[in-house]
Structure 1
Amino acid sequence: MNVDTMLSTNEVPPSTIQVMKRYLAVNAKHNPVLVSTILFSLLTSAVLSVMTQCLHAMIDDYGATGTIVNMQTAILLLSLALLIPSQYLQQFLGIKYGGLCDRTMRDKTFAIMSQIDMQTLDSQRMGDILSRANSDLGQINATLQNYYAVRLPQQIIGLAAFIVSLLISWQLTLFSLAIVPVIALLQMKISAPLTRFALQWQQAAGESLSIANNLMGGYEIAKAYNLGSNLRHRYDAAVDRAADSGMNANRATLLLSPLGRIMFFLPQIIICGFGVYLASIHHITSGGVMSVIILSVFIGNPIGDFSSVLTDFKTARGCASRVFELWDLPLEPTDGTERKPGGDAIIFDNVEFSYPDKPAVINGLSFSISRGEHIALVGGSGSGKSTAIKLLMALYRKNGGEISLFGNAVEAWSTDALREYISYVGQDTYLFAGSIWDNVAMGNRGASDENIQAAIDAALLNEMDVKREIGERGLRLSGGQRQRVAIARAMLKDAPLLLLDEPTSALDTQAEALVTEALRRLMQGRTTIIIAHRLSALRNIDRIVCMQDGRIAESGTHEQLMMLQGVYYRLYKSQEADL
């Protein structure tokens, strides 16, 4: 399947059985907890069966002897003492199993997301992937956790109660089953108004929240066009509707609560009435009637919950389809091995690359870089400069030709080992939530405090409070400050190959001066490839490689290329004209 459509197909979602099988397979290491949950559910069922039989015999014996102090009473009390810890362990282990599975599923999802092939990832919508990893996965976990922790034990207990009830009186048992769907239908009819009022309240509350969000999100526009009064009237109307719906819902709740309690006891009353009839014709004893009534509660729970289980599993199936598609995305290759640097720094030999179903971006690209050399890749938009760097970092895989790094083909390297020898500073610097210190320390997690501070000083960040929180993506820092943090991170990593992808293109003149000085310090002693936006900054670069249509158009120093009056000359003159 084409990666462009892999996460957007409308294929039939996996069946419930397929979802359960894959869920159990992923969480196989937690099977002992699941088995323990089932065993304690069976124990609880057995204890309830014994208690029911004892209650049955005790009531019948009381009618014959007038006393309840007998062996049946003692067994009933002992069973009750055993039921409490059995139910506790059944519920505790069920919840534990659900929690362990949730953690395993989320760990697996994050591990897969961190290893997805970059070329595949570029063709996806990040919001959709995050939705699959968060809300869809959460829905699956919530459904299956609830099933294994609550509903499966209820089904086991219900089945055991049904068998015991049949042994006591099959007529009364089948009668009790027959009235369950009738009662359930009545409950749905009675609760329908409450559901409608609750929906109206949610809609009105959502509308009021949306209006408030419009006010705060477009505050300047609201002020400029004097929309405050209009928005206030709309907000007041929405709040009034929400209040009316809430009052209607509360009124309906007060009226329906007694009916709900009646509907809870009504099945037992009806069963009791039919049981009395059966007892009058000697088809069942008084103790048997009471036992079947008690057992009917345990039988009715899973039956009454059946439609809800089906609905939840139907939703989980759709979510599982989306999560499994995410799990099945192509991952980065793992067939490389640990390598040691040797030979020339970098060689591109007739390299070809194109994105799926797109024209070639890299077309016969060939050049080499010696150790310690500083070169610049320049060219117009779409000439393949950034793609070449991504191929070098093994983020993309070439279609043809050879790329070698330090004497070894890129494919021969373990991707983790390869990237240990590369430092990267891009145009759109990404910083993680935390402090400047935290972000710099990510360059080398084993670095000492002295080395981290030295990198901060070398990147000209020593005038800042490096322990202060910088916000999501470093939004509390200026563009130049973010770039210097990225440079400090690269300095701390101290890799022999440095890749710079237009690190100063989005900066003003003052910030660019500071970043340029930090970059000069970073480049010392390192093989460097820089993609430059401002060609005037390349006068001191060892060599400039000018790309056009995915291949080398010309190569040389700034002075040599200017004398050629070719592609580089025209790019340089066009920038001068724009100043």
Structure 2
Amino acid sequence: MNSSTLYLRLLRYVKPHSRLFAIAIVSMVVMALTEPALPALLQPLLDEGFVQQNPDIIKIIPLLLLLVMLIKGIAMIISTTCLAKVATQVVTDLRQAMFEKILSLPTTAFDNISAGILLSKVTYDVSRVMAASTESLVVIIRDSLTVLGLLAWMFYLNWKLTLIVFLVAPVVVVTMRIVSKRLRGMNILTQDAMGNMTRILEETISGHKLVKIFGGQPYEKNRFSLACTAVLNATVKSQTISAISIAIVQMLTAIVLALIIYIAAQEAQSAAITVGGFVSLFTAMGMMFTPIKHLTKVNEQLQQGLAAAQSIFTLIDQASEQDSGTQVLPRLVGKIDFQQLNFTYQENTSNALHDLSLTINAGETIALVGASGSGKTTLANLIPRFYTITQGQILLDGLNINELPLANLRENIALVSQEVVLFNDTVAANIAYGAMANTPREKIIAAAKAAHAMEFIEKMPNGLETIIGERGVKLSGGQRQRLAIARALLKDAPILIFDEATSALDTQSERHVQDSLDYLKRGRTTIIIAHRLSTIAQADRIIVMDKGRIVEMGTHAQLLVLQGTYAMLYRVQEQIDVL
């Protein structure tokens, strides 16, 4: 995406706030027009006030100067306030657009990009876009008008001398074009380095216990130091390139000014220009230094913003989850048919699931068993369409899941994952999450009781209103799982996917979780991803998987009699439990 396309797209986010932006622009125009007023007032003050001793001029000029500064101050206040409002709103709109996109991204997108990179885009990249979308535009408009106004006054005073200024223009244009390309590339490198640094920071914070227990502090320090150094190097290179370009432009400007001063002095000797005219011309030239410096500096700011905009729009333009289903069902019965199912992850060449066919009757409890990587979780993740099936189909109550809108499909599925997801909110808000937020308090309490969670909730300082910390850090593993089960109970969906993770719990917590699960699966089609085989002995059927295929199927007793894969796994786990 080229610079002009990026910038025009950025300006679309300014368009909803065009009224405020227009007020800011008009105020900046007024500010720019006041700049040539100072040298314009100097000429009559010197020629008529000091040289000709005109008392009226001596009285009027100071008053006019105060009036000009008052107008400039008011215009500055208005433009700054309006611009701050527009710039902040543009950043807010971009962040909301990015967050909405993140919410709609398919699961594969999160498999391919870290949380730290996404955090960097939403925080760091957007703040840099502010400079490109508003601040740089302000500089371009205000300082360009200031330069034009000063040049106009200089032309009025002496057009021959002023023409010399344009000698430097072609050189400045060529310099800025060369520098722009370099700055754009360096700013992209800076953003990538910043994203990598944020990723390392996020990983270290979230894994701080692992870092401590395995003595990972030196390793993490080194990783973070290298990432910071990469940011430093990219930033310094960018600043150096910008400084060189500014120095070149300023040197060219100084050469032109020196030439003009020399010629003007020669003309003053021949009375071709008055003292007031010379001072006014020289003042106007001196006043051009600041806006020219701003205009040369704005290129760096603009390229930073455009590089950030490219990163942001790359995220916003990512494809959302495919949601073309039109057949809405109020509530599923719960029959699931897997028909000749094949699935391959994007980054892999081999299938994770191979020609898998299976029928799960409504209300049946199925346990998926197998070694790590056998396809258990993959199979469960295809039901709510977290991933798109490569070949074959899944039918729910005889209807292809692709024909159901995602919201309708997922409102019929409850999920209790292996890694329980809880938010830094109240206990009640974590149970009645999302679409259930307005659930009456008595129903939340009933779900918590059914999940055997009220016994520890009632002991908390504020009961259901207790803040549980980030990811439920203030709770034990068993308590977190019981809250997740209470959430699933409150949803009351006909299909339950339970990624059982009781092996890391103590005996009492495991018993509580198992009792909660027994209550939860009543009257529901339940798929349990089993990690501890002793907990799924009562399942209606146990599906044994290996390398993406179903290798055995039956009840706990039937599979033990077969003396196959399941019996071997069960014996191995018994030996581990004994140890």
TM-score range, shorter chain: 0.7 to 0.9
CA distance in 1, matches of 2:494, 2:287: 70
Aligned twin of 1:44: 31
Shift of 1:359: 0.5
Separation (CA, whole Å) in 1 of partners of 2:382 and 2:72:
64
Within 1, Cα distance between the matches of 2:400 and 2:344?
Answer: 19
| Partner of residue 512, structure 1 | 510
Choose 410-419 or 531-540, whichever is displaced more.
410-419
Matches within 5 A, 1:76-115: 79-115=68-104
State the alpha-carbon separation in 2 of the partners of residues 347 and 418 from structure 1: 15
Deviation at 1:78, TM superposition (A): 5.1
Post-superposition shift, 1:398?
0.3
Shift of 1:395: 0.8
Superposed counterparts of 1:144-159, under 5 Å: 144-150=133-139, 152-159=141-148
Name the CA distance, whole Å, in 1 between partners of 2:475 and 2:162. Answer: 72
1:76 to partner: Cα distance: 5.9
Cα pair 2:481 2:513 within 8 Å, conserved: yes
Structure-2 residue corresponding to 1:229: none
Aligned to 1:263: none
CA–CA distance in structure 2, aligned partners of residues 334 and 295 of structure 1: 63
2:352 paired with 1:352: no
Question: Structure 2, unaligned stretches of length 5 or more?
Answer: 172-204, 216-255
The normalised TM-score by structure 1 is: 0.75
Q: Following the alignment from structure 2 to structure 1, what is the Cα–Cα distance between the partners of residues 409 and 149? A: 60
- For each residue in 1:234-273, what CA deviation from the matched residue of structure 2 results, as whole angstroms up to 9, or x when unmatched? xxxxxxxxxxxxxxxxxxxxxxxxxxxxxxxxx9999889
Q: Is the 8 Å Cα contact of residues 154 and 284 (structure 2) preserved in structure 1?
A: yes
Question: Alignment partner for residue 556 of structure 1, among 545, 554, 561?
Answer: 554
The structure 2 residue matched to 1:486, chosen from 484, 493, 501, is 484
Residues 38-66 of structure 1 show CA distances to partners (whole Å, capped at 9, x for unaligned) of: 23322333344456545544554434461
User: 1:158 touches 1:300 (CA, 8 Å); kept in 2?
Assistant: no
- Please list, as runs of the form range in 1=range in 2, the aligned pairs for 1:412-431 lying within 5 A after superposition: 412-431=403-422
Other-structure match for 1:330: 319
Q: Which moved more, 1:105-114 or 1:160-169?
A: 160-169
Amino acid at match of 1:157: T
Structure 2 SS opposite 1:544? strand
SS of the residue 2:512 aligns to: helix
Tell me which residue corresponds to 1:28. 15
* TM-score, normalization by structure 2: 0.75
- 2-side partners of 1:132 and 1:455: how far apart? 39
Q: Which amino acid aligns with 1:396?
A: Y
Contact 1:99 1:145 in 2 (8 A): no
Tell me how far 1:127 sits from its aligned partner. 2.4
From 118, 121, 137, the equivalent of 1:132 is: 121
In the TM superposition, residue 508 of structure 1 has moved relative to its aligned partner by 2.4
Is contact 1:436-1:470 (8 Å) kept?
yes
Q: Are 1:501 and 2:499 counterparts?
A: yes
Following superposition, the deviation at residue 401 of structure 1 comes to: 0.9
| Cα distance in 2, alignment partners of residues 54 and 405 from structure 1 | 83
| CA displacement at 1:217 relative to structure 2 | 12
- 2:11 is paired with a residue whose SS is helix
Q: 1:525 to 1:45 in 2, by over 3 A?
A: same
Structure-2 change in CA distance of 1:359 and 1:415 (3 Å): same
The reply on whether 1:319 has 2:311 as its aligned counterpart is no
Q: Give, in whole Å, the separation in 2 of the partners of 1:542 and 1:283.
A: 107
Offset, 1:360? 0.4
The residue number in structure 2 matching 1:231 is none
Deviation, structure 1 residue 290: 4.2
Q: For this pair of structures, how many residues does the alignment match?
A: 492
Residues 1:87 and 1:294: Cα distance change in structure 2 (over 3 Å): farther
**Residues 534/319 of structure 1: CA separation in 2 closer, same or farther (3 Å cut):** same
Which structure 2 residues correspond to residues 180-199 of structure 1 after superposition, within 5 A? none
**Equivalent of 1:475, from 452, 469, 473?**
473
8 Å CA contact 2:380, 2:497 repeated in 1? yes
The alpha carbon displacement at 1:27 in A equals 4.0
Equivalent in the alignment of 2:441: 449
Q: 1:309 to 1:80 in 2, by over 3 A?
A: closer
CA distance in 2, matches of 1:269, 1:67: 35
**Shift of residue 275 of structure 1?**
5.8
Partner residue in 2 for 1:378? 369
% identical equivalent positions: 31
- Return the alpha-carbon distance in structure 1 between the equivalents of residues 453 and 524 of structure 2: 21
SS of match in other structure, 1:133: helix
Contact kept in structure 1, 2:368 and 2:545, CA below 8 Å: yes
Letter of the 1:98 partner, please give it.
Answer: A
Question: Aligned letter for 1:345?
Answer: K
How far apart are residue 437 of structure 1 and its match? 2.4
Q: Does the CA-based 8 Å contact 2:325-2:406 persist in structure 1?
A: yes
TM alignment of 1:184-333, pairs within 5 A: 278-296=267-285, 298-333=287-322
The alpha-carbon distance between structure 1 residues 488 and 27, as it changes in their structure 2 partners (threshold 3 A), is farther
Q: What amino acid maps onto 2:418 in structure 1?
A: Q
Question: Which blocks of at least 5 consecutive residues in structure 1 are unaligned?
Answer: 1-13, 182-212, 223-266
Q: Does 2:54 align with 1:66?
A: yes
Q: Equivalent of 2:394, from 399, 403, 412?
A: 403
- Code of the aligned partner of 1:38: I
Question: Shift in Å at residue 274 of structure 1?
Answer: 7.5
Distance in 2 separating the partners of 1:100 and 1:174? 43
| Residue 358 (structure 2) aligned to one of 363, 367, 382 | 367
Distance 2:420 2:71 in 1: 62
Query: Alpha-carbon deviations, 1:369-426, whole Å to 9, x = none?
Result: 2222221111222121111111111110001111122443221222122212211111
Q: Cα–Cα, structure 1 residues 437 and 322, in superposed 2: closer, same or farther, change >3 Å?
A: same
Local SS of the residue matching 1:311 = helix
Q: Which residue of 1 aligns with 2:424?
A: 433
Name the amino acid aligned to 1:402.
Q
2:537 pairs with one of 539, 552, 560: 539
- Aligned residues of 1:427 and 1:506 also touching (Cα < 8 A): no
Alpha carbon RMSD of aligned pairs, Å? 3.6
Tell me how far 1:568 sits from its aligned partner.
Answer: 2.1
